[in-house]
């Protein structure tokens, strides 16, 4: 199976191969001491993330918002409940990269703990991409609980770790390079929220914001500080390319003490270097890689049986509770509760 084997099961298309396993072995062997402790830290991060997610989803019922707290992300399409569209090329590349990192994390940590990896691959569930690593099930079953838990947590933990590295690269390397490769000329409005001040005042997608209260958007730091200083009830003069509009801020739905106008934007910039375009595309890739890596990494920590979090919950409960029947019941109840929270958080904005 060195070069791979294509399989189809209904709407599931998979390419399974043994390619990449030698690379996992090499990484595991070279960095075993570091990766071992990194994987143990991932267990703590995994359970902490699981608790946070349940708290976050439960909050959708305590304080409902007009926007869904969980939305599918498909490159090229607008995220439901927001004004943000995931760019097609950068979005696809980011998803492919984070999937490889996620499953590579599982595979490498399996080898760190001497659990054999039988194969790996990628596939499509209809139009949704996925990746997988198949460890030897008998070896995994008989491995110490810490090894199993660290292997399950390794995928999400790898996503979160690389997201942090991407953020550092963006802040300290790419963003300074962008300022040297572009001149900021304004902010392009890419969407407005229905019923909020910007939309009611007549601001539309494609408008270019030049200044607010005479503070030019080209001086982005001063502009950001001015925006952050506004509170609900403040009236702000929005200077666009062809008109000036006064808008009164309302309360931010996530923080009532902060001003909210209900619009999203992206920089309108003029390139000054030959590499400006490539650098901009790379910055978009890093931005979406960070966002999607955090989102998918955390989502996989939900205590649902098919996800990494469900496997961590299962083995954790059976490791602590010696009565297997009781452990099985608790696992089932927590799984159903998590699934209900997830479905409810998705549907609540549409039925509330």
CATH code, domain carrying 207: 2.30.42.10
Is 32 within a domain? yes
Helix H or strand E segment including 194: none
Q: Is residue 291 located within the same domain as residue 256?
A: no
**What pLDDT shows up at residue 293?**
96
Is 181 within a domain? no
Number of domains in the chain: 2
Is 278 within a domain? no
Is 277 within a domain? no
Q: Quote the domain boundaries for residue 338.
A: 5-176+286-351
Strand ranges for 18-167 from DSSP E: 117-125, 128-135
Is 280 within a domain? no
Q: Is residue 23 located within the same domain as residue 110?
A: yes
Is 275 within a domain? no
Low-confidence ranges of the chain (pLDDT < 50): none
Q: Is 176 exposed, middle or buried (0-12, 13-18, 19+ CB in 10 A)?
A: exposed
Question: 293-341 pLDDT, tens per residue?
Answer: 999 999 999 999 999 999 999 999 999 998 999 999 999 999 999 999 9
Is 221 within a domain? yes
d(CA 255, CA 86): 25
Burial 259-283 (b: 16+ CB within 10 A, else e): bbbbbbbeebbeeeeeebeebbebb
**What pLDDT shows up at residue 145?**
95
Q: Is residue 58 located within the same domain as residue 104?
A: yes
**What pLDDT shows up at residue 352?**
59
| pTM score, whole prediction | 0.83
Q: Is residue 153 located within the same domain as residue 230?
A: no
Q: Give the closest residue to 208 by CA, choosing from 265, 271, 276.
A: 265
Q: Is residue 160 located within the same domain as residue 202?
A: no
Is 189 within a domain? no
**What pLDDT shows up at residue 294?**
95
Q: Is residue 293 located within the same domain as residue 335?
A: yes
Q: Is residue 243 located within the same domain as residue 300?
A: no
Q: Is residue 83 located within the same domain as residue 124?
A: yes
Q: Is residue 36 located within the same domain as residue 118?
A: yes
Q: Is residue 34 located within the same domain as residue 163?
A: yes
Q: Is residue 156 located within the same domain as residue 294?
A: yes
Q: Which of 217, 244, 261 is the last residue of a domain?
A: 261
d(CA 233, CA 80): 29
d(CA 150, CA 44): 9
**What pLDDT shows up at residue 83?**
63
Region class of 310: left (phi > 0), else alpha (psi between -120 and 50), else beta:
alpha
Tokens of 1: 């199976």
Q: Is residue 121 located within the same domain as residue 163?
A: yes
């Amino acid at each position: 199976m060195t070069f791979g084997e294509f399989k189809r099961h209904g709407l599931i298309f998979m390419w399974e191969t043994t390619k990449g396993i030698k690379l996992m072995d090499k990484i595991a062997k070279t960095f075993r001491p570091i990766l071992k402790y990194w994987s143990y830290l991932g267990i703590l991060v995994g359970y902490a993330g699981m608790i946070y997610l349940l708290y976050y989803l439960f909050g959708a019922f305590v304080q409902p918002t007009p926007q869904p707290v969980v939305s599918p992300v498909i490159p090229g399409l607008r995220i439901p409940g927001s004004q943000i569209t995931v760019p097609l090329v950068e979005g696809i590349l980011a998803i492919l990269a984070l999937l490889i990192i996620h499953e590579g994390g599982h595979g490498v940590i399996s080898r760190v703990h001497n659990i054999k990896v039988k194969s790996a691959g990628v596939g499509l569930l209809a139009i949704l991409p996925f990746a997988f690593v198949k460890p030897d099930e008998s070896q995994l079953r008989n491995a110490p609980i810490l090894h199993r838990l660290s292997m399950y947590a390794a995928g999400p933990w790898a996503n979160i770790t690389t997201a942090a590295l991407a953020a550092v690269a963006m802040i300290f390397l790419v963003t300074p390079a962008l300022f040297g490769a572009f001149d900021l000329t304004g902010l392009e409005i890419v969407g407005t929220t229905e019923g909020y001040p910007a939309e009611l005042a007549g601001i539309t997608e494609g408008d270019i914001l030049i200044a607010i209260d005479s503070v030019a958007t080209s001086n982005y730091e001063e502009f950001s500080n001015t925006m952050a200083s506004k509170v609900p009830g403040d009236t702000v003069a929005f200077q666009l390319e062809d008109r000036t509009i006064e808008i009164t801020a309302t309360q931010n739905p996530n923080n009532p003490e902060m001003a909210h106008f209900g619009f999203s934007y992206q920089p309108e910039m003029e390139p000054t270097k030959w590499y400006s375009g490539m650098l901009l595309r790379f910055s978009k890739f890093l931005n979406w890689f960070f966002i999607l890596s955090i989102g998918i990494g955390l989502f996989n920590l939900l205590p649902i049986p098919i996800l990494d979090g469900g496997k961590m919950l299962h083995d954790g409960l059976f490791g602590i509770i010696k009565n297997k029947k009781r452990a099985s019941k608790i696992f089932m109840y927590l799984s159903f509760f998590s699934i209900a929270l997830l479905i409810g958080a998705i549907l609540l904005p549409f039925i509330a």
